[in-house]
A and B are shown apart, each in its own frame.
Chain A
Amino acid sequence: MSDTLHIQHEVASHGHSGEPHMHHHKETFISKYIFSMDHKMIAKQFLVTGIIWAIIGGLFSVLFRLQLGFPDQSFPILETFFGRWAEGGKIKPEFYYALTTMHGTVLIFFVLTAGLSGTFANLLIPLQVGARDMASPFMNMLSFWFFFAASIVMLSSLFTQTGPAAGGWTVYPPLSALGLASQGSKSGMDLWIIAMTLFVASQLLGGLNYISTILNMRTKGMSMTRMPLTIWAILFTAILGVLSFPVLLSGLVLLMFDRHLGTSFYLSDIFVAGQALPNEGGSAILYQHLFWFLGHPEVYIIILPTMGLASEILAINSRKPVFGYMAMIASLMAICVLAFLVWAHHMFVTGLNPFLGSVFVLLTLLIAIPSAIKVFNWITTIWRGNIRFTPAMLFAIGFVSIFISGGLTGIWLGNSTIDIHLHDTMFVIAHFHIVMGVSAFFGMFAGIYHWFPKLFGRFMNNTLGYIHFWVTLACAYLIFWPMHYQGMAGMPRRYLDKSSWVSFSQFHSLDAMITVATIIAFSVQLMFVFNYFYSMYKGRRVRSQNPWGATTLEWTTPIHPGHGNWEGEIPEVHRWAYDYSKDGRDFIPQTEPVGEDESAH
Chain B
Amino acid sequence: MNTSIVSEQQHRRLHPHKFALWVAIASILMMFAGLTSAFIVKSNQSGWRTFVLPNIFWISTVLILASSLTMLMAVKAFKSRGLQQYRTLLGITFALGAAFVICQVLGFEQLWNNNVQFKGASGAGQFFYAIAGLHAVHVIGGVVALLVIFLKSIAGKTKSYDAVPVEVMSMYWHFVDLLWLYLMLFFIILG
| A associates with B | yes
* A residues in contact with B48, CB < 8 Å: 281
A212 on interface, CB distance cutoff 8 Å: yes
Complex Cα gap A551–B123 (Å): 59
Query: Across the interface, do B122 and A280 meet the contact criterion of CB distance under 8 Å?
Result: yes
Query: Across the interface, do B24 and A204 meet the contact criterion of CB distance under 8 Å?
Result: yes
Please, what's the 1-or-0 string for A562-586, where 1 marks a CB less than 8 Å from any CB in chain B?
0010000010000000000000000
- B15, B34, B126: the one within 8 Å of A265 (CB): B126
Would you give the shortest CB distance from A103 to chain B, in whole angstroms? 27
Query: Across the interface, do A132 and B118 meet the contact criterion of CB distance under 8 Å?
Result: no
- A3, A21, A137, A216: the one within 8 Å of B10 (CB): A216
Please, what's the 1-or-0 string for B19-62, where 1 marks a CB less than 8 Å from any CB in chain A?
11001101110111111001001100111110000000000000
Complex Cα gap A137–B45 (Å): 47
Complex Cα gap A439–B121 (Å): 46
Would you give the shortest CB distance from B126 to chain A, in whole angstroms? 5
A3-B4, A212-B20 as given contacts; A279 in contact with B30, CB under 8 Å: no
Query: Across the interface, do A251 and B34 meet the contact criterion of CB distance under 8 Å?
Result: yes
Residues from 243 to 258 in A contacting B, C-beta threshold 8 Å: 243-247, 249-251, 253-254, 257
* B residues in contact with A211, CB < 8 Å: 19-20, 23
Complex Cα gap A202–B130 (Å): 22
Query: Across the interface, do B16 and A253 meet the contact criterion of CB distance under 8 Å?
Result: no
Complex Cα gap A571–B118 (Å): 60
Complex Cα gap A71–B51 (Å): 55
Residues from 97 to 151 in B contacting A, C-beta threshold 8 Å: 118-123, 126-127, 129-130, 134
* B residues in contact with A204, CB < 8 Å: 24, 27
Query: Across the interface, do B4 and A257 meet the contact criterion of CB distance under 8 Å?
Result: no
B189 on interface, CB distance cutoff 8 Å: no
A473 on interface, CB distance cutoff 8 Å: no
A132-B4, A211-B23, A216-B14 as given contacts; A250 in contact with B122, CB under 8 Å: no
- A217, A257, A570: the one within 8 Å of B130 (CB): A257
Complex Cα gap A74–B28 (Å): 51
Complex Cα gap A154–B75 (Å): 43
Complex Cα gap A250–B129 (Å): 13
Query: Across the interface, do B120 and A250 meet the contact criterion of CB distance under 8 Å?
Result: no
Query: Across the interface, do A261 and B118 meet the contact criterion of CB distance under 8 Å?
Result: yes
A217-B5, A253-B130, A281-B47 as given contacts; A293 in contact with B122, CB under 8 Å: no
By beta carbon, the residue of chain B nearest A210 is B23
A209 on interface, CB distance cutoff 8 Å: yes
Query: Across the interface, do B34 and A286 meet the contact criterion of CB distance under 8 Å?
Result: no
The 3 closest A-B pairs by CB, nearest first: A281-B47, A246-B31, A281-B122
A: residues with CB less than 8 A from B are 1-5, 21, 131-133, 135-137, 139, 204, 207-209, 211-213, 215-217, 220, 242-247, 249-251, 253-254, 257, 261-265, 268, 278-283, 286, 289-290, 293, 564, 570
| 30 pairs of residues in contact across A and B, judged by CB atoms under 8 Å | A3-B3, A131-B5, A135-B16, A207-B27, A208-B23, A212-B23, A213-B16, A215-B19, A216-B14, A216-B16, A220-B9, A244-B30, A246-B31, A246-B34, A250-B32, A250-B34, A250-B35, A251-B34, A253-B130, A257-B129, A257-B130, A262-B118, A263-B130, A264-B120, A265-B38, A278-B119, A281-B45, A282-B122, A283-B41, A283-B45
